[in-house]
Copies of this chain bind each other. A is one copy, B any other.
Amino acid sequence: MPDTWSIVESDFEVAHNRHYEGLMAIGSGTLAQRASLEEGLSDDPQDREYLRIMGNVSVEQFPSFKSRVGTYLPGVVGPHPTCGEQMINLPAIHGLVTYAGGERLDMESSRIADYRRHLDLRRGHLIRELTWLTRTGSRLGVRFDRFISASRRHVMALRCTVRHLGGRPAELRFLGTLDAEVRTNGFDHFRSVDITGQHEPITLAVRANSGIEVAAAALLTSDRGVLWSVDVQPRWVGCRGSITLESGQSLTVDKFAALTSSQHVSGPPVDVARKLVWDAAAAGFERLAAESDAVWERRWQQTDVVIEGDPASQLALRTALYHLLRAAVEDDPRCAIDAKAACGEAYCGRYFWDSDIFMLPVFLYTRPEVGKTLARFRISSLEGARRNARRYGYCGAKYAWESSPSGDEHCPNWQYADHQVHVTADVAYGLVHAHRADSGDREFLRQAVEVLVEAARYWCQRVTYVPERDRYELLMVMGPDEYTPFSRNNAYTNRLAAFGLTAAVELWRELEDADPDGAERVGKRLTLEAQELARFTEVARKIYFPYDPARRLVLQSDDFFGYERLDFDRWWPDRSKPLGACVSQERLYRSQVLKQADVLQLMALFPQEFDAEQMRVAYETYLPLTCHDSSLSKPVHALIAAWLGRQDEALRFWKESVSLDLQPDQAAEGVHAACAGASWQALMFGFAGLSSYMQSETLAINPRLAPDWSGLRFPFVWRGQPLYVDIEPARVAVQHRGRRPLEAIVRGQRCRLTPGQTSFFG
């Protein structure tokens, strides 16, 4: 039976190191860490400075690194000279260098056998095992077990076990470090580094160029009375210990470390870090692990999807879900999940529509409270969105294409920041989605209405009225397809903008009904009047939708088919590279090429508005023009293909999506978090055939299993009621684990699900 709970690396190759650093990243949401080796690699300094210039599509070249150490507290950001405000790579806390007889353990040059590293997805432990044949003639069995505590979210625990398996006695030395010799995208964010080493634990505090203070603390213990001394350097501090191990003996060294910041605690971060480490060491490795593992067990009870008959997809799906689970900042609405899930610097830790459209639904239907916290990010960052709007000369709120935690726009390339305006409507879609998941939360409704009204105000100014046709148009916009950046009337954007306007009015009405006092307060604060609501409705109604009734084709935009056809065979002979790396941006921008599904993405969000024929025509028209350079393209193709009954195609697209980060070279600069969420959605809404809140008020389950799957089982929450769905080719079983009876339509049969009971549908 293949292990579908572990990502395994069986041979260490330095060329794949960064891939595994991203793929095996661990974290608690609050604290995230790339899976860098405890001892590091030689000739691989982490403090190299360079000037990153955010490139155009696909042309950016990164410096070559053996490894990219990465330690993040999402929300701890600072200005970069060319990239904008970015998530800072904080001092590394995982370092534990091991020497035997003067030889430094080095994955490239040491003699190593029986190597195996794996990430235990079920518990979030990163485990490395190897046999070290030292130059001085010892055989040592070495094992590292490392995790970020899911219950004490600022704390990392690391256990290194050394068993002497034979040969000469080994003089072992250890150096456990806190290390500020790191850079973020080549830039040094630390204005000062303060180190204390006199008393345990050692601490290292930095002040970032944004003023945020960050503190790390660490403490090392062992089971054999190793004596520790402290080594203080200008930018790092370490505990050194040594001991001689003889054949048959074994040794355990535990490192407890904590990382916190003035964003997270009110007192001096260094005091808090020190206390966290003391407490962790007092609890000990086993108890910390047990606490954390229990949290992970509950998470998986709420989210694990079992795919019968396809272990490769099973592992890939768990990997995808793992990264979303470890990256969600469950208790802090000041952060969303960034595009790389806090394990890489490619997108500077910023928040995109990825969060609202692709990741949020995963949580809304499995862990709704976490989902709501995620959705609240757009509420907590409303002021930033207002600033963005003002900066462009608008009133209201314009959400950033690349949002910092404050909501301010930090996208360094203007074409996305200025023109990919659909994000403001995607935010509205996400908030409505979250509201429908739990419509009884009045506070959330009040806050969401504020966002929606401010966003609607933006749309009313962003549209252009065309008197000859008595309609509103949206000029110079970039839809999801970023290779067609300056469109007139992009269908996705126009429809979403109309949605944003309508939703503002609808949720306002709901608020008036449910909470008249709250509505009055919100209305006053926003100086909202009936006239303005009427204007929202009017604009929404008159926003033009590009559609060719003769062909039943939703047009990506007015101008799309006026561009030049691109001969893929000529311009894209090597499909292992993205098309964007083969063709100049100048040519892409005037070609009929889709970076990702644009019209199909619209249909995925509003399936009830399109019939199967329209979906088929769109799918068949655009697919030959689509290069899937975006990781968000294939999952939505999987979804629509499943709806169209093209299960083979759907499965192919889905497998390529869900396993993307498992491919060599992927994940090196961070995992594709939105693709993970989109893959879950393609599975749930496509193959399992669930309806979404945005599609239907009543739960519907209409499975379209992939041909080689014998079953699909998963937990699911519908409007606060937990369910467990078990799909087999011939029947669907729905277990109601909640407390209120539920109307549903399963395989077309309208039914009533009863709490505590399992219903079967043939």
Contacts and interface: CB of A to CB of B under 8 A. Distances in A.
Interface of A: 51, 53, 56, 81-82, 391-393, 414-415, 418-419, 464, 475-476, 486, 488, 559, 562-564, 571, 583-587, 589-590
Contacts of A488: 559, 562
A475 B414 contact: no
A556 to B, nearest CB: 16
Nearest to A81: B51
A584 B391 contact: yes
Contact of A589 (B81, B418, B587): B418
Given A51-B82, A82-B51, A475 B564 contact: yes
Nearest to A415: B415
A240 to B, nearest CB: 39
23 contacts: A51-B81, A53-B82, A56-B414, A392-B584, A392-B586, A392-B587, A393-B571, A393-B584, A393-B587, A415-B415, A418-B584, A418-B585, A418-B586, A464-B563, A464-B564, A464-B590, A475-B562, A475-B590, A476-B486, A476-B589, A486-B486, A486-B589, A488-B559
A391 B587 CA distance: 12
Contacts of A414: 56, 585
Nearest to A488: B562
A513 B134 CA distance: 83
A559 B419 CA distance: 17
Contacts of A53: 82
A310 to B, nearest CB: 41
The 9 closest A-B pairs by CB, nearest first: A476-B590, A418-B586, A475-B590, A464-B564, A392-B584, A486-B486, A51-B81, A393-B584, A476-B589
Contacts of A486: 476, 486, 589
Which among A56, A419, A564, A585 has the greatest number of chain B C-beta atoms within 10 A?
A564
A590 B477 CA distance: 9
Nearest to A391: B584
A419 B51 contact: no
Contacts of A583: 393
Number of copies: 2
A564 B589 CA distance: 22
Which among A564, A583, A584, A586 has the greatest number of chain B C-beta atoms within 10 A?
A586
Nearest to A589: B476
A419 B82 contact: no
Contacts of A82: 51, 53, 82
A467 B126 CA distance: 60
A265 B631 CA distance: 55
A589 B475 CA distance: 9
Contacts of A418: 584-586, 589
A584 B389 CA distance: 11
A604 B590 CA distance: 29
Contacts of A585: 414, 418
A114 B551 CA distance: 83
Contacts of A81: 51
A571 B461 CA distance: 13
A476 B393 CA distance: 26
Contacts of A393: 571, 583-584, 587
A351 to B, nearest CB: 21
A732 B410 CA distance: 63
A583 B475 CA distance: 16
A51 B583 CA distance: 31
Which among A53, A82, A476, A585 has the greatest number of chain B C-beta atoms within 10 A?
A476
Nearest to A485: B486
A475 B563 contact: yes
Contacts of A475: 562-564, 590
A93 to B, nearest CB: 31
Contacts of A51: 51, 81-82
Nearest to A586: B418
Contacts of A56: 414
Nearest to A565: B464
Nearest to A51: B81
Which among A51, A53, A414, A418 has the greatest number of chain B C-beta atoms within 10 A?
A414
Contacts of A587: 392-393
A53 B414 CA distance: 13
Contacts of A584: 391-393, 418
A274 to B, nearest CB: 38
A189 B604 CA distance: 54
Nearest to A486: B486
Given A418-B584, A418-B585, 8 more contacts: A56-B414, A392-B587, A393-B587, A415-B415, A418-B589, A464-B564, A464-B590, A475-B562
Given A56-B414, A81-B51, A419 B586 contact: yes
B392 A476 contact: no
A481 to B, nearest CB: 15
A81 B186 CA distance: 13
A700 B464 CA distance: 48
A475 B566 CA distance: 14
Nearest to A571: B393
Nearest to A56: B414
A300 B264 CA distance: 72
A392 to B, nearest CB: 5
Contacts of A586: 392, 418-419, 476
A485 B586 CA distance: 12
A585 B417 CA distance: 11
Contacts of A391: 584
A332 to B, nearest CB: 32
Contacts of A415: 415
Nearest to A563: B475
A424 to B, nearest CB: 13
Contacts of A562: 475, 488
